[in-house]
Structure formats: C-alpha cells, structure tokens
Structure 1
C-alpha cells in the first residue's frame, strides 16, 4: 500500500484548512474553501489525477471553492444531504441562501460506512453536532482522520449555528473520534493538526 501524502492549504478569510491527499499520482480533496487557486495550481503542478472531493459539512468556508474546482476537474463530490437546509437560510441567520447561485454544485449523498480511496480503506463517520450533516473521514492504515469543525486542538466546534447541538457534538467526538487509536492524527477544519491522545489528555471538554 502506497504512503498517503497530505498537504494542507489554508484558504479564504476564515483561514479554512483544505486538504489534498495523494498516492501514486491520484488525489482527493477534503473540503474546498474560498479562493482555492493555490490548491488548483498545486494539483496541476504535480500532475495529479483528481478522483473526488469529500466535504465534511456545508458551511460556506468549507465549500466556497468547490464550484471553481469543478470548473477545472471533472470529478464527483461526496457529502451528507443533511445540510441541504442551509440553502434555505439567509446569510444573516448563518445560512448560505444568498450565495447559492454562485457556489451551488451537484454532489453524491453518502453516509457512514466503508469505502476505498487512493488504494486505502476509508471509513466515513457520522459526526453530527456542528451541523446535522457533519461527516469525518478516517484512514486507518494511514492513521489519520479529517473532522471538519467537529474538534480542534484543545477546543471543539461551534454549536450556536443553525441546527447545531452541543450534546450531539460531544457525543460524536467521544464515540467516533476519541475511540480511535491514540496515535491517530486529527486534521481539523481550522488550526493545527492534533492527535487523539493529545485531546484525551488536554482538551478541557473531555478531562475527567
């Protein structure tokens, strides 16, 4: 099994982490934030064959660059359908209604389960709380998980946005993320990479 290469691109005014995962010349993107030019140029520079885009949730800072990416590459986008309601909520109320004409795109709805990407097993984890449709993507052989805005280094995601839920978010982290092997690297939607062991020991939301 080839080594999974992970590159991080910090995109847009919210400094959102976008991840380019590659192995043997193939690649997928996890979240495509606003102003993705550097990401697009890197894919071209490396001559990668982009095979898919996986979204953790539908907040604009994580999907604002998807349409530009699709203008360059003919690939499928994968996401939960549980965040569709954000398209009907105004920007003032923290939805994306006014932006839909500019950022809307087709996607394949997926849920929790096993898949293969880049020659590796990948587990899609249902991790609601930040949004109802939040998903995380765990690559067990590579020892890494991509969690969007579920959990950050010594912090957790917001739950004051439409249909966010604090109890759901904490339950998702405990049951889906902190249950992974301690050495698992956690790649969040903002900020630095952390590990399961680090969050068990230092995240104030989970100290016993």
Structure 2
C-alpha cells in the first residue's frame, strides 16, 4: 500500500525580544538564512499538496521554502494545525504572568498535557484537532505527499498520534525551527514514522 506521506515542517525562529508567550498570538519570524531554506526545499518532495497554519510565521516560512525552489500546490490554510492557544496569557511577558499568577502558571507548565491556561486550550485539545486534520487530509490526499508547515505543539501532537503515545509522553519530543518530521498514514489507518526533527542545511553533532 502506498501511504499518504506527511512532511511536517516547523516554522522559522520567532523574533521575540520581549519573551512573550505567543501560542496563537501572531508574531514575526526570521527567514534570512538562504542555506537552510534551500536545503529544506531540496529535501521536500516536488508536486506535493501544501497545508499551512494560517498564522503569519508559518505562512512566511512556507513562502521562503517555496521561493528557495520547492514546487507544489498553492498552500491551503488549515486552522487545525495552529499552535496551542494559551488564552489570556498570549502576548503577555512570561515573567509578568509568573509574578501575577504564580500558582496557575506553575501548575500549567508542570502538568501541561491536561491543563489549560485561562480561556485557552490544553495539549490534549491540540491532539484532538490535529488528529481530525490528519484523518481528513489523509483521506483527501490518499497516497500523495502532504507538506504541512506548522508549529512545535501540533508536530508533537502528530507524533503522539502516529506513535500511539500519551499526550504527556509526546511533549518530550523536541522540534527545532525549520526542521522536518515525516510520518506516513496507510489506507488501513496504521501509521509509520520515517524520521523526526531532521534539520537540513545544518551540521549534526556526532556523539
């Protein structure tokens, strides 16, 4: 069986000198590294279906990869691939939130899978909406390559689904900016994982 091959790309590094919590808060990113974007463009398949979170940093990242020479269909905005919503804390400086709401802040970051920020969503909620997006688009694009430019949280959610991990365990994954993760969805609903957190155009550390 030919699987639907998902190429999950995390957005470029954010520009965040104030150290705010951003989540779904729109924040700019740095795409001024032609070597990295050229290498990612070369690593991705030609002629793929492209999806992107509708936030500015993912759109900008997708545009930079495509400008570096990666062909494919015009990207489609998919809101279910957005970063976790941190509610009232979005756009606020981390240190200030900790000073104002120390217990709520610590409780959220120490047990983040089930906890919600005030008026926000939990990582469990993110897993549910990412699952719906993966199921939907895997059926629509059966047997094709799908490039999805998204965020660290939803990529961890996708790995939770593909590896059948609890949301809490999936939060252990680290996702570099402009990294590529490959997961495969088969017609019978089974998943495979090709690789995680590949960083084309950057040196690897031998160990």
User: Structure 1-normalised TM-score?
Assistant: 0.31
Larger radius of gyration: 2
Q: Which has the higher contact order (CA 8 A, sep 6+)?
A: 2
User: Structure 2-normalised TM-score?
Assistant: 0.31
